[in-house]
Amino acid sequence: MSSLALAVRHDHLSELTRGQELPLPALDSLHIEIILALLQRAYNELKIDLPHAVATGDEKHVTGLMVDRLNHLVGADPVASLLIRAVSRGAETKNYDATRFEMRPDIQISLTGRQHLFPLIVECKLLDTPNRKTVDLYCHDGLARFSTGDYAWTNREALMMAYVRDGATISSHLHPYLDVASKRTPAEYAVVSLPGRCAPSLPDAAISDHGRYFTYVHGSHVGKAPGDIRVWHLWVR
């Protein structure tokens, strides 16, 4: 890569993170649990109002419905509106070294306590084993993006959401899958801690911690490691 191209990439990163110390401070766990409950509520309401769409729609269709319902809920819920500015789908962003400019996380939640350029990222996946939507894809095409620096590279946390259609649970499918992955050399998905139950009011939610394979490449952050990322998993059915 030419020195000019490299300089342009670093200019983009420096402008994005202007005045910020990376990684950003961790979000309060209670606030994330409130957001998880809001995601669960949005899905539950859609199941009642649009059962066929939720039961048969593809991942993009269901996620689009989720984003619209979430924005309605935020507007009507005084607690949620204290935390959340807006929810968007597929907004373009860049990865940690700006080699990829057209990254599009499934859901981006803009928070009132944080600059809108640094949303909370939610990656969504269908789980439907008969149709080859498996926990392997959930991890390979979703969870892995946080360790490689594609998504949430400025943050200390991210969310994964599964639309479950085959009876899978975090304890029966995700935990054993990551347990095996953690014992490989090197550990796959940079597993630091296996999924542990969280948000007891929710039917199926857990937290896992993962290392990250990159260091920052721009400005005063050059060579700095981002540290582990905490991933909150919500599986709805």
Q: Give the structural domain span for 191.
A: 24-236
Instruction: Say if 6 falls within a structural domain.
Output: no
80 in Cβ contact with 96 (< 8 Å): no
Instruction: Say if 18 falls within a structural domain.
Output: no
Instruction: Say if 14 falls within a structural domain.
Output: no
pLDDT at 2: 56
Task: Identify the burial level of 195 via C-beta atoms within 10 angstroms of its C-beta, where 0-12 means exposed, 13-18 middle and 19 or more buried.
Answer: buried
Instruction: Say if 60 falls within a structural domain.
Output: yes
Report how many domains make up the chain.
1
Instruction: Say if 8 falls within a structural domain.
Output: no
143 in Cβ contact with 207 (< 8 Å): no
Give exposure, 149-188, as e/b (b: 16+ Cβ within 10 Å): bbbbbbbbbbbbbbbbbeebbbeebbbebbeebbeeeeeb
pTM: 0.95
Instruction: Say if 48 falls within a structural domain.
Output: yes
CA distance 103 to 95: 7
CA 127, 129, 131, 137 torsion: positive or negative? positive
Instruction: Say if 106 falls within a structural domain.
Output: yes
pLDDT tens, the chain, 237 aa long: 555 466 678 788 989 999 999 999 999 999 999 999 999 999 999 999 999 999 999 999 999 999 999 999 999 999 999 999 999 998 889 999 999 888 899 999 999 999 999 999 999 999 999 999 999 999 999 999 999 999 999 999 999 999 999 999 999 999 999 999 999 988 899 999 999 999 999 999 999 999 999 999 988 899 999 999 999 999 999
pLDDT at 11: 85
Please name the residue that has the structure tokens 């929810």: 87
Instruction: Say if 71 falls within a structural domain.
Output: yes
pLDDT at 5: 63
